[in-house]
Amino acid sequence: MGHIELRDLDDDDLDAIFEMMRDPASVAMAAFTADDPDDRAVFDVWISRERSASGVSYFVVTENGGFAGSAAVFTVDGDREVSVWLARHAWGRGIATDALRLLVAHEPERPLYARAAAHNAAAIAVLSRSGFTEVSRNTAYAPGVGREVEEVVFTLVPALDGY
């Protein structure tokens, strides 16, 4: 693993993010994805909305300056949530853990929440290593796998995070 950073998203990153978010293995692990990950027009509308929304911070994860994924902080139903999505070439080398720590350090609001599909053991391990604690589970339809799956909700509270 090289030097990991978060930087602001720019227009030159959109193709890499689109390709990452349509990779079949990534979609299966994320599970809660776009209905059609191959629809570039829908992606362009979604990413434009995310980039312009107040309260959303969207970053590119880099390893040694090269694209490794994306990270975001946003609000859902009044709760601040974090998300990290890595390109497949960056899996399994500690990049997600480092990116999540950088993202958490960047966001002052607590508590923070995160979600992962229950079958995504790697994402659950990253969240646990980073101080997140499981708070609930629910079942929801996941377009990425075409069926209902269990979703695990985590939180990071001020007393636990040390950031």
Whether the pLDDT of residue 1 is over 90: the answer is no
pLDDT at 15 over 50: yes
Residue 124 clears pLDDT 50, i.e. is over it: yes
The residues pairing with 153 across neighbouring beta strands, listed in sequence order, are 115, 136
Q: What is the mean pLDDT of the chain?
A: 94
Q: How far apart are CA 62 and CA 69, in angstroms?
A: 7
pLDDT at site 159 = 53
Q: How many CA atoms lie within 13 A of 9 on its CB side?
A: 22
Give pLDDT, residue 112. 97
Residues 4-161, CATH architecture: 3-Layer(aba) Sandwich (3.40)
Write down the domain spans for the chain: 4-161
Q: Which of 75, 79, 96 is nearest to 135 (CA)?
A: 79
Report pTM.
Answer: 0.92
Find residue 7's DSSP bridge partners. Answer: 60
| Bridge partner list, 155 | 113, 133
Number of CB atoms found within 10 A of residue 62's CB: 20
